[in-house]
Amino acid sequence: MSLCVLDEEKFHLCCQLLLQLSEQLGDGWSWEGGQEGYLRKTALRSVVIDSSSVWDYEGGGADTSCPSLSEQQEGEQEQAAVDASADTDSIKGDMEDEDEDDGVCVASAGSSQLLQYEYHILHSCSYSTPVLYFRACTQEGRSLSLEEVWSSVHPNYRLRLQNSPLNTITMQEHPLLGQPFFMLHPCRTEEFMRPVLQAAQDQHRPVNYVLSWLSVVGPVVGLDVPLKYSTLLHPAPPPRQHRARLTPSPCVCQHHCGAPLYGSCITNPTIRG
Amino acid sequence: MSDNAESPTETPKEESQPPPDDTSTNDEKKKIDVLLKAVGDTPIMKTKKWAVERGRTILSLSQFISRFLKIEGSEQLFIYVNQSFAPSPDQEVGILFDCFGSDNKLVLHYCKSQAWG
Protein backbone atom coordinates (compact mmCIF):
# COMPACT_ATOMS: atom_id res chain seq x y z
CA MET A 1 0.00 0.00 0.00
CA SER A 2 1.78 3.14 -1.15
CA LEU A 3 -0.26 5.21 1.27
CA CYS A 4 1.45 3.83 4.32
CA VAL A 5 4.93 3.69 2.89
CA LEU A 6 7.47 6.06 4.34
CA ASP A 7 10.63 6.29 2.30
CA GLU A 8 13.90 7.41 3.78
CA GLU A 9 13.73 10.91 2.38
CA LYS A 10 10.31 11.53 3.80
CA PHE A 11 11.44 9.99 7.06
CA HIS A 12 14.22 12.56 7.26
CA LEU A 13 11.82 15.38 6.54
CA CYS A 14 9.37 14.23 9.19
CA CYS A 15 12.20 13.90 11.69
CA GLN A 16 13.44 17.40 11.02
CA LEU A 17 9.96 18.80 11.54
CA LEU A 18 9.62 16.81 14.74
CA LEU A 19 12.98 18.15 15.88
CA GLN A 20 11.85 21.72 15.36
CA LEU A 21 8.79 21.14 17.49
CA SER A 22 10.86 19.31 20.07
CA GLU A 23 13.20 22.27 20.37
CA GLN A 24 10.28 24.61 20.80
CA LEU A 25 8.85 22.42 23.51
CA GLY A 26 12.13 21.48 25.11
CA ASP A 27 11.25 17.83 24.66
CA GLY A 28 14.80 16.63 24.28
CA TRP A 29 14.97 14.91 20.91
CA SER A 30 18.21 15.12 18.98
CA TRP A 31 19.44 13.87 15.64
CA GLU A 32 22.43 11.56 15.71
CA GLY A 33 24.56 10.09 13.03
CA GLY A 34 24.35 12.38 10.04
CA GLN A 35 22.79 11.19 6.83
CA GLU A 36 22.11 7.66 7.97
CA GLY A 37 21.01 8.77 11.35
CA TYR A 38 18.27 8.53 13.88
CA LEU A 39 16.33 10.53 16.43
CA ARG A 40 17.38 10.06 20.01
CA LYS A 41 15.94 10.95 23.36
CA THR A 42 16.63 9.95 26.93
CA ALA A 43 14.16 10.12 29.76
CA LEU A 44 13.81 9.08 33.35
CA ARG A 45 10.87 6.94 34.27
CA SER A 46 9.62 5.77 37.60
CA VAL A 47 8.42 2.21 37.24
CA VAL A 48 7.42 -0.60 39.52
CA ILE A 49 8.74 -3.85 38.21
CA ASP A 50 8.24 -7.20 39.77
CA SER A 51 8.61 -10.72 38.57
CA SER A 52 4.91 -11.44 38.41
CA SER A 53 2.81 -10.33 35.48
CA VAL A 54 1.03 -7.76 37.61
CA TRP A 55 2.19 -4.22 37.14
CA ASP A 56 1.46 -0.85 38.63
CA TYR A 57 2.15 2.19 36.54
CA GLU A 58 3.51 5.12 38.51
CA GLY A 59 4.22 8.61 37.47
CA GLY A 60 1.30 8.93 35.15
CA GLY A 61 -0.97 10.56 37.69
CA ALA A 62 -3.81 9.10 35.73
CA ASP A 63 -7.13 7.58 36.49
CA THR A 64 -6.51 3.91 35.99
CA SER A 65 -9.79 2.68 37.36
CA CYS A 66 -11.60 0.61 34.83
CA PRO A 67 -15.17 1.54 34.00
CA SER A 68 -17.90 -0.92 34.65
CA LEU A 69 -21.50 -0.51 33.73
CA SER A 70 -24.07 -1.96 36.03
CA GLU A 71 -26.32 -4.51 34.40
CA GLN A 72 -29.26 -2.21 34.65
CA GLN A 73 -27.45 0.60 32.96
CA GLU A 74 -26.15 -1.68 30.28
CA GLY A 75 -29.65 -2.86 29.64
CA GLU A 76 -30.91 0.68 29.44
CA GLN A 77 -28.22 1.64 27.04
CA GLU A 78 -28.84 -1.35 24.85
CA GLN A 79 -32.48 -0.41 24.78
CA ALA A 80 -31.56 3.14 23.92
CA ALA A 81 -29.25 1.84 21.24
CA VAL A 82 -32.03 -0.17 19.66
CA ASP A 83 -34.51 2.71 19.83
CA ALA A 84 -31.94 5.07 18.45
CA SER A 85 -31.24 3.10 15.33
CA ALA A 86 -33.04 5.64 13.20
CA ASP A 87 -31.08 8.65 14.39
CA THR A 88 -28.13 7.53 16.44
CA ASP A 89 -26.20 10.77 16.52
CA SER A 90 -28.77 12.60 18.55
CA ILE A 91 -29.06 10.00 21.27
CA LYS A 92 -26.51 10.57 23.96
CA GLY A 93 -25.32 7.94 26.34
CA ASP A 94 -23.99 8.64 29.77
CA MET A 95 -20.61 7.14 30.43
CA GLU A 96 -20.51 6.47 34.13
CA ASP A 97 -18.02 4.86 36.44
CA GLU A 98 -20.30 2.56 38.36
CA ASP A 99 -17.91 0.84 40.67
CA GLU A 100 -14.32 -0.23 40.98
CA ASP A 101 -13.46 -2.94 38.56
CA ASP A 102 -10.53 -5.33 38.83
CA GLY A 103 -9.61 -5.03 35.15
CA VAL A 104 -5.96 -5.18 34.32
CA CYS A 105 -4.82 -2.46 36.67
CA VAL A 106 -3.82 -4.08 39.92
CA ALA A 107 -1.36 -2.69 42.43
CA SER A 108 1.72 -4.80 42.79
CA ALA A 109 3.95 -5.32 45.76
CA GLY A 110 7.12 -4.37 43.92
CA SER A 111 9.06 -1.26 44.77
CA SER A 112 9.38 1.74 42.54
CA GLN A 113 12.56 2.17 40.58
CA LEU A 114 13.91 5.12 38.69
CA LEU A 115 15.02 3.95 35.28
CA GLN A 116 16.96 5.67 32.55
CA TYR A 117 15.38 5.10 29.16
CA GLU A 118 16.98 5.82 25.84
CA TYR A 119 14.75 5.92 22.76
CA HIS A 120 15.89 5.82 19.15
CA ILE A 121 13.74 6.31 16.08
CA LEU A 122 15.19 4.70 13.00
CA HIS A 123 13.92 4.09 9.52
CA SER A 124 13.24 0.52 8.57
CA CYS A 125 14.00 -0.13 4.93
CA SER A 126 12.27 -3.46 4.85
CA TYR A 127 9.01 -2.15 6.30
CA SER A 128 9.38 1.41 5.00
CA THR A 129 8.20 2.69 8.32
CA PRO A 130 9.82 4.24 11.36
CA VAL A 131 10.83 1.80 14.04
CA LEU A 132 11.40 2.39 17.74
CA TYR A 133 14.44 1.05 19.49
CA PHE A 134 15.02 1.60 23.17
CA ARG A 135 17.02 0.46 26.11
CA ALA A 136 16.60 0.92 29.80
CA CYS A 137 18.84 0.64 32.78
CA THR A 138 18.66 1.24 36.48
CA GLN A 139 20.44 4.09 38.21
CA GLU A 140 23.24 1.65 39.02
CA GLY A 141 23.69 0.93 35.33
CA ARG A 142 22.12 -2.51 35.21
CA SER A 143 20.26 -3.14 31.97
CA LEU A 144 16.72 -4.32 32.09
CA SER A 145 15.86 -7.79 30.93
CA LEU A 146 13.23 -8.49 28.33
CA GLU A 147 10.85 -9.79 31.00
CA GLU A 148 11.27 -6.63 33.01
CA VAL A 149 10.55 -4.53 29.97
CA TRP A 150 7.43 -6.53 29.20
CA SER A 151 6.22 -5.99 32.72
CA SER A 152 6.68 -2.24 32.37
CA VAL A 153 4.47 -1.85 29.33
CA HIS A 154 1.48 0.42 29.84
CA PRO A 155 -1.67 -1.36 31.06
CA ASN A 156 -3.54 -0.32 27.95
CA TYR A 157 -1.35 -2.62 25.91
CA ARG A 158 -0.36 -5.28 28.42
CA LEU A 159 -3.16 -7.68 27.64
CA ARG A 160 -2.39 -7.61 23.96
CA LEU A 161 1.31 -7.88 24.67
CA GLN A 162 0.73 -11.01 26.71
CA ASN A 163 -0.95 -12.61 23.74
CA SER A 164 2.04 -12.27 21.51
CA PRO A 165 4.98 -10.84 23.41
CA LEU A 166 7.68 -11.89 21.03
CA ASN A 167 5.95 -10.20 18.15
CA THR A 168 5.73 -6.98 20.05
CA ILE A 169 8.93 -6.22 21.91
CA THR A 170 12.07 -8.16 21.22
CA MET A 171 15.75 -7.69 21.72
CA GLN A 172 17.57 -6.77 18.54
CA GLU A 173 20.94 -5.54 17.46
CA HIS A 174 20.77 -1.83 16.77
CA PRO A 175 21.31 -1.52 12.99
CA LEU A 176 23.68 1.42 13.31
CA LEU A 177 25.29 0.99 16.71
CA GLY A 178 25.49 -2.78 16.80
CA GLN A 179 24.48 -2.83 20.45
CA PRO A 180 21.58 -4.76 21.96
CA PHE A 181 18.42 -2.74 22.11
CA PHE A 182 14.77 -3.53 22.58
CA MET A 183 12.68 -2.97 19.53
CA LEU A 184 8.99 -2.41 19.07
CA HIS A 185 8.10 -4.54 16.10
CA PRO A 186 6.96 -2.52 13.10
CA CYS A 187 4.79 -5.14 11.47
CA ARG A 188 1.51 -3.50 12.54
CA THR A 189 2.56 0.04 11.77
CA GLU A 190 0.73 0.11 8.49
CA GLU A 191 -2.51 -0.96 10.15
CA PHE A 192 -2.69 1.73 12.73
CA MET A 193 -1.27 4.41 10.45
CA ARG A 194 -3.70 3.79 7.66
CA PRO A 195 -6.68 5.64 9.21
CA VAL A 196 -4.50 8.66 9.85
CA LEU A 197 -2.96 8.72 6.39
CA GLN A 198 -6.21 8.01 4.63
CA ALA A 199 -7.95 10.85 6.41
CA ALA A 200 -5.09 13.21 5.66
CA GLN A 201 -5.24 12.28 2.01
CA ASP A 202 -9.03 12.64 1.84
CA GLN A 203 -8.94 16.00 3.53
CA HIS A 204 -5.92 17.25 1.59
CA ARG A 205 -3.89 18.13 4.61
CA PRO A 206 -0.35 17.21 5.52
CA VAL A 207 0.45 14.84 8.34
CA ASN A 208 3.76 14.11 10.02
CA TYR A 209 4.06 10.35 9.67
CA VAL A 210 6.74 10.05 12.33
CA LEU A 211 4.90 12.20 14.84
CA SER A 212 1.59 10.39 14.37
CA TRP A 213 3.35 7.05 14.53
CA LEU A 214 5.20 8.09 17.68
CA SER A 215 1.97 9.14 19.38
CA VAL A 216 0.74 5.57 18.97
CA VAL A 217 3.86 3.57 19.84
CA GLY A 218 5.44 5.88 22.39
CA PRO A 219 2.99 5.29 25.24
CA VAL A 220 3.40 1.52 24.87
CA VAL A 221 6.94 1.84 26.20
CA GLY A 222 6.55 4.81 28.46
CA LEU A 223 7.62 7.47 26.01
CA ASP A 224 5.46 10.51 26.54
CA VAL A 225 4.56 12.54 23.49
CA PRO A 226 3.25 15.82 24.88
CA LEU A 227 -0.06 16.98 23.59
CA LYS A 228 1.55 20.27 22.67
CA TYR A 229 3.12 18.66 19.62
CA SER A 230 -0.35 18.42 18.18
CA THR A 231 -1.75 21.67 19.50
CA LEU A 232 1.14 23.50 17.89
CA LEU A 233 0.39 21.82 14.59
CA HIS A 234 -3.35 22.01 14.87
CA PRO A 235 -4.37 25.11 16.81
CA ALA A 236 -7.96 24.95 17.95
CA PRO A 237 -10.47 26.72 15.73
CA PRO A 238 -12.00 29.75 17.45
CA PRO A 239 -15.56 28.72 18.22
CA ARG A 240 -17.26 30.72 20.91
CA GLN A 241 -16.29 28.43 23.78
CA HIS A 242 -12.64 29.07 23.06
CA ARG A 243 -12.96 32.78 22.95
CA ALA A 244 -11.59 33.28 26.42
CA ARG A 245 -8.49 31.20 25.67
CA LEU A 246 -7.78 32.86 22.36
CA THR A 247 -8.43 36.44 23.47
CA PRO A 248 -5.63 38.44 21.89
CA SER A 249 -3.41 40.50 24.09
CA PRO A 250 -4.30 44.15 24.17
CA CYS A 251 -1.84 46.58 22.72
CA VAL A 252 0.74 47.62 25.30
CA CYS A 253 2.20 50.52 23.41
CA GLN A 254 3.49 53.55 25.24
CA HIS A 255 0.40 55.50 24.30
CA HIS A 256 -1.90 53.16 26.24
CA CYS A 257 -4.19 53.26 23.28
CA GLY A 258 -6.25 50.40 24.57
CA ALA A 259 -6.49 48.87 21.13
CA PRO A 260 -7.66 45.27 21.37
CA LEU A 261 -4.84 43.76 19.39
CA TYR A 262 -1.18 43.89 20.26
CA GLY A 263 0.61 46.45 18.15
CA SER A 264 -2.50 47.47 16.23
CA CYS A 265 -2.87 50.92 17.70
CA ILE A 266 -2.75 54.05 15.72
CA THR A 267 0.38 55.63 17.10
CA ASN A 268 -1.11 59.00 17.60
CA PRO A 269 0.89 60.66 20.31
CA THR A 270 -2.08 62.84 21.18
CA ILE A 271 -4.05 59.87 22.45
CA ARG A 272 -3.62 59.81 26.21
CA GLY A 273 0.07 60.50 25.87
CA MET B 1 -20.33 23.44 28.09
CA SER B 2 -18.93 26.91 27.71
CA ASP B 3 -16.46 27.36 30.49
CA ASN B 4 -13.38 25.73 29.10
CA ALA B 5 -11.35 28.80 29.91
CA GLU B 6 -10.96 27.71 33.49
CA SER B 7 -7.96 25.60 34.19
CA PRO B 8 -8.77 22.20 35.65
CA THR B 9 -8.33 22.15 39.40
CA GLU B 10 -7.00 19.21 41.39
CA THR B 11 -9.94 17.29 42.76
CA PRO B 12 -9.74 13.96 44.53
CA LYS B 13 -11.34 11.16 42.63
CA GLU B 14 -13.78 9.81 45.13
CA GLU B 15 -17.41 8.87 45.31
CA SER B 16 -18.51 11.65 47.70
CA GLN B 17 -20.51 14.58 46.46
CA PRO B 18 -18.50 17.77 45.98
CA PRO B 19 -19.90 20.95 47.56
CA PRO B 20 -22.70 22.03 45.30
CA ASP B 21 -22.01 25.75 45.40
CA ASP B 22 -18.30 25.51 44.51
CA THR B 23 -18.19 24.88 40.80
CA SER B 24 -14.43 25.09 40.46
CA THR B 25 -13.89 21.81 42.29
CA ASN B 26 -16.49 20.11 40.13
CA ASP B 27 -14.33 20.41 37.04
CA GLU B 28 -13.54 16.76 36.75
CA LYS B 29 -17.17 15.87 37.34
CA LYS B 30 -18.33 18.12 34.56
CA LYS B 31 -19.15 16.25 31.44
CA ILE B 32 -18.20 16.90 27.88
CA ASP B 33 -19.72 15.43 24.77
CA VAL B 34 -17.69 12.87 22.92
CA LEU B 35 -18.63 11.61 19.48
CA LEU B 36 -17.18 8.23 18.61
CA LYS B 37 -16.61 7.39 14.96
CA ALA B 38 -15.55 4.01 13.68
CA VAL B 39 -12.79 3.68 11.13
CA GLY B 40 -12.65 1.08 8.40
CA ASP B 41 -14.41 -2.17 9.19
CA THR B 42 -14.38 -1.61 12.91
CA PRO B 43 -17.85 -2.18 14.36
CA ILE B 44 -19.90 0.97 14.75
CA MET B 45 -21.20 1.76 18.19
CA LYS B 46 -24.94 2.15 18.14
CA THR B 47 -24.70 4.97 20.63
CA LYS B 48 -22.09 7.28 19.23
CA LYS B 49 -22.49 10.30 21.39
CA TRP B 50 -21.53 10.10 25.04
CA ALA B 51 -21.44 12.45 27.99
CA VAL B 52 -18.06 11.82 29.58
CA GLU B 53 -16.55 13.30 32.72
CA ARG B 54 -13.70 15.64 31.96
CA GLY B 55 -11.34 13.76 34.23
CA ARG B 56 -11.81 10.46 32.47
CA THR B 57 -8.73 9.18 30.67
CA ILE B 58 -8.35 7.80 27.19
CA LEU B 59 -7.38 4.48 28.77
CA SER B 60 -10.69 4.38 30.57
CA LEU B 61 -12.56 5.34 27.42
CA SER B 62 -10.70 2.74 25.40
CA GLN B 63 -11.64 0.05 27.89
CA PHE B 64 -15.24 1.21 27.79
CA ILE B 65 -15.39 1.01 24.00
CA SER B 66 -13.59 -2.34 23.97
CA ARG B 67 -16.08 -3.73 26.43
CA PHE B 68 -19.02 -2.28 24.53
CA LEU B 69 -17.80 -3.74 21.25
CA LYS B 70 -16.72 -6.97 22.93
CA ILE B 71 -13.22 -6.69 21.59
CA GLU B 72 -11.12 -9.76 22.26
CA GLY B 73 -7.83 -9.86 24.10
CA SER B 74 -5.91 -10.49 20.92
CA GLU B 75 -7.10 -7.24 19.42
CA GLN B 76 -6.09 -3.68 20.09
CA LEU B 77 -8.24 -0.58 19.95
CA PHE B 78 -6.65 2.58 18.64
CA ILE B 79 -8.13 5.99 19.27
CA TYR B 80 -7.32 9.07 17.21
CA VAL B 81 -7.86 12.77 17.69
CA ASN B 82 -8.26 14.94 14.61
CA GLN B 83 -7.58 11.72 12.69
CA SER B 84 -3.96 12.71 13.00
CA PHE B 85 -2.54 11.41 16.25
CA ALA B 86 -3.21 9.05 19.09
CA PRO B 87 -3.70 10.63 22.49
CA SER B 88 -1.72 9.16 25.35
CA PRO B 89 -3.75 6.64 27.38
CA ASP B 90 -3.33 8.81 30.45
CA GLN B 91 -4.61 11.93 28.74
CA GLU B 92 -7.79 13.36 30.19
CA VAL B 93 -10.65 13.84 27.76
CA GLY B 94 -11.41 17.26 29.23
CA ILE B 95 -8.05 18.58 28.09
CA LEU B 96 -8.50 17.06 24.66
CA PHE B 97 -11.90 18.69 24.44
CA ASP B 98 -10.40 22.08 25.30
CA CYS B 99 -7.73 21.75 22.63
CA PHE B 100 -9.48 19.88 19.87
CA GLY B 101 -13.18 20.17 20.53
CA SER B 102 -15.45 21.81 18.01
CA ASP B 103 -19.20 22.35 17.89
CA ASN B 104 -19.21 21.67 21.61
CA LYS B 105 -17.98 18.10 21.25
CA LEU B 106 -14.83 16.08 20.94
CA VAL B 107 -14.74 13.78 17.95
CA LEU B 108 -12.70 10.63 18.43
CA HIS B 109 -12.10 8.06 15.74
CA TYR B 110 -11.46 4.50 16.81
CA CYS B 111 -10.06 1.54 14.97
CA LYS B 112 -9.72 -2.09 15.90
CA SER B 113 -6.89 -4.25 14.68
CA GLN B 114 -4.98 -7.39 15.41
CA ALA B 115 -2.46 -6.23 17.93
CA TRP B 116 1.20 -6.25 17.12
CA GLY B 117 1.39 -9.36 15.02
Q: pLDDT tens digits for A33-81? A: 988 899 999 999 988 765 554 344 433 333 333 333 333 444 444 444 4
The Cα of A158 is separated from the nearest Cα of chain B by a number of Å equal to 10
Give me the helices (H) in B33-89, please. 58-68
Task: Look at residues A141, A213, A211 and name the one whose alpha carbon lies nearest to residue A184.
Answer: A213
φ/ψ of residue A80, rounded to 5? -60, -35
Other beta carbons within 10 Å of B61: 25
Angle between helices B93-100 and B58-68 (to 10 degrees): 100
Q: Tell me the residues of chain B between 8 and 37 that have a Cβ less than 8 Å away from chain A.
A: 13, 31, 33-35
Q: pLDDT tens digits for A102-152? A: 444 554 556 788 999 999 999 999 999 999 999 999 999 999 998 888 888
Question: Could you tell me if the ipTM is greater than 0.90?
Answer: no
Other beta carbons within 10 Å of A46: 13
Residue with more model confidence, A260 or A23: A23
Q: pLDDT tens digits for A68-116? A: 333 344 444 444 443 434 445 567 888 876 544 444 455 455 678 899 9
CB distance B13–A191 less than 8 Å? no
CB distance A229–B89 less than 8 Å? no
Per the residue annotation, which of A14, A125, A187, A257 is the catalytic one?
Answer: A187
Residue of B nearest to A219 (CA): B88
Among B3, B46, B92, the residue with its CB nearest the CB of A88 is B46
